[in-house]
Amino acid sequence: MTGSTFEDRISRANEVLVKSKHRASRSPLWYQIQLGIARDAGWDHKRYRAVFEEATHRFPWYVPLYLWAANYLSPKWGGSYEAVDALARRTTELPLGADYSLYTRVYWHVTGGEELTFEPFQDSLASWPLMKAGFEGLMKRYPKSAWNLNAFAYFACRADDGSTYGALRARIGRNVMPNAWVSNHSTEVCDERLLGHT
């Protein structure tokens, strides 16, 4: 697919979306798609922010809006981690993210799109104490979530927080969810490095 063909398709998709706004924007999914198109079309920050502000004003509880915005603001799409951090910290002022859970989800999402060599607590402005608080908030909301528990332990490993990792790893036991980890920070690697297991 050539660049012009891609641009044409994005433009046509945007036209269809705009025409459907009056009816379809009653759903937050309309804004999520619009933010995706805006990213792919290379909208400038002012134009993108206007859509984001409208979306979060209407649907402040819809988490994907914040995650897509974080993606757009990341260096991968021409932004910066300063911009990502500003968004992440802003979420802590919202009822939805008052427990730092949305802060955590922003950095969790952005980290997932980076290379294996990316270190969130060195290569970005992510704060482990704030992410830890956010994961604790998520665990209070979803105490039976093995996925969140595995992700919490994974990030504790990334932060070299041995005591937190050890406690979480004991809770996980054999219920390891491989998709929550990456090869250079697998449970085997983390167990050996932080717990001395071989």
Position 86 scores a pLDDT of: 97
Domain ranges across the chain? 1-59
What pLDDT does 40 receive?
87
C-alpha span between 99 and 151 (Å, rounded)? 17
pTM for the structure as a whole:
0.89
Closest among 34, 32, 37, 29 to 9, alpha carbons compared: 37
Which residue in this structure is represented by tokens 């697919």? 1
The series of mean pLDDT values per 10 residues for the chain, 198 residues long, is: 68 75 86 90 91 95 96 92 97 95 97 92 97 98 97 98 98 96 95 89
Alpha-carbon Rg for the chain in angstroms: 19
